[in-house]
Amino acid sequence: MGQKQSAATAPGAATPWIGIDVSKDTLDVCLLRAGGKEKHKTFANDAAGHSKLLRWVEHLVPGEIYHFCLESTGSYSMGVAHFLAEASQRVSLVNPARIKYAGLAQGVGNKTDRADARLIADYCRKEEPALWRASAPEVRVLVALVRRLHSVQGLLGQEQNRLGAPELPREVQSSLRKMIRVLEAEIKRLQKQIKDHINGHPGLKADKELLLSIPGIGETTAHELLGELPDVTQFASAQSVAAYAGLAPREHSSGASVRKRTRLSKRGNSHLRKALYFPAVSAVQWNAPVKAHYERMREKGKGKMVCLGAAMRKLLMICYGVLKSRQPFDPNWQQNKRGCQIVCVNG
């Protein structure tokens, strides 16, 4: 079922464009043809609904190269995205903010699922967004494990905070302590499961060893980076991976009078940014290129948090460099012209 793999990756414009407005239970779909004609239909957001969606498209416009587009809305959108990618379809996952501003620019007034699907299809037609590539199955499992670990750690923090409340009855204290022990045991189990999962897949294990060669990157951070960072071959440069994480500088200026401070865009993978915060604090002390970059910015009068954001960006770009070059971190990378070109960490 679906197009061949070559169709999914072939260059050039695809037609028709299929916009999908995703919710927890349903997919509102707009199929937009080159002539402007459109068809709408709603499907269940489950395995059966995903199959019906593709059969509906193939029935309406058989033999065409389809371009599906949907907003990146976390777990609700990933099921249909993976289904379409595995069926060798062209799929784009777009930041919801881009769709929102495209609608504002067009003066779209109605806010309905049907109108949103039409807007997404039109955005796909006009902007030709980059195609999304599904992660390998072992990476998807790792992402789920790492995020589950974060959730359990959050629950543990909540229970520990409750235990610190004054004048708690002994019965409540006993219940809280019991739950804390359960959560601590589950955290240890998940941490071991993550480690075993990585060790059981040679590609993940090799990538982990490369990341651990970087001062500031410990085992926990390496696990999170392996889960949250897509295959580096998808990125054209280190600057691209920084933009993916929302760590690209964003300048705000207009004319001769408006000159606001340059900030990080923060339009990207928030999980990746959070994973880099404390490692960047460590790297500022122990990673020579990151430390030098941080100190240069401090000498220019930049604030500590601005400089730390730049250190996060530098550290991520170094991670990209070692994964892309398949070489461990070299503290003397500036002396290696070829390495400098590969790593591209001129931040």
Q: Are 156 and 179 in contact (CB under 8 A)?
A: no
Average pLDDT for the chain = 85
**Looking at 111-115, 258-262, 336-340, which range is the least confident one?**
336-340
Q: What is the pTM of this model?
A: 0.73
Locate 286 and state its tokens.
């122990």
Q: At what angle do helices 304-325 and 202-212 cross, to 10 degrees?
A: 130
Full strand arrangement of the beta sheet holding 67-71: 38-44, 26-32, 17-22, 67-71, 90-94
Cα–Cα distance between 296 and 303 in angstroms, integer? 12
Beta-bridge mates of residue 263: 250
Q: Give the span between the Cα atoms of 347 and 331, in whole angstroms.
A: 16
What is d(CA 57, CA 39) in angstroms, rounded to the nearest whole number?
Answer: 10
Q: Reply yes or no on whether the pLDDT at 120 is more than 70.
A: yes
Q: How far apart are CA 175 and CA 67, in angstroms?
A: 53
Of 160 and 264, more confident: 160
What are the structural domain ranges in the chain?
5-127, 137-200, 228-251+263-343
pLDDT for 72? 81
Q: What would you measure as the largest C-alpha separation in the chain, in angstroms?
A: 72
Q: How many CB atoms lie within 10 A of CB 321?
A: 25
Does residue 341 have a pLDDT over 90?
no
d(Cα 151, Cα 68) in Å, to the nearest integer? Answer: 31
Q: What's the confidence (pLDDT) of residue 338?
A: 44
Least confident stretch, 154-158, 231-235, 247-251, 297-301: 247-251
In angstroms, the CA 189 to CA 64 distance is 48
Give the model confidence (pLDDT) of 38-82 as tens digits.
999 999 999 999 999 999 999 999 989 999 999 887 778 889 999
The span from the first CA to the last CA of the chain, in angstroms, equals 45
Query: Where are the extended beta strands (E) located within the chain?
Result: 17-22, 26-32, 38-44, 67-71, 90-94, 249-254, 258-264
Helices (H), 87-136: 96-106, 113-127
Distance between CA 207 and CA 162 in Å, rounded?
Answer: 39
pLDDT for the residue 339: 44
Buried b / exposed e over 267-298, threshold 16 CB at 10 Å, is ebbebbbebbeebbebbbeebebbbebbeebe
Q: What is the DSSP letter of 65?
A: B
Q: Which amino acid is at 7?
A: A
Closest CA to 80 of 129, 43, 117: 43
Task: Fill in the amino acid letter for 237.
Answer: S
Q: Quick check: 134 and 85 in contact, CB under 8 A?
A: yes
Instruction: Answer positive or negative: Cα dihedral of 329, 211, 201, 191.
Output: positive
**Token pair in block for residue 248:** 């690209």
Confidence of residue 28 (pLDDT cuts 50, 70, 90): very high
Indicate the CATH number for domain 5-127. 3.30.420.40
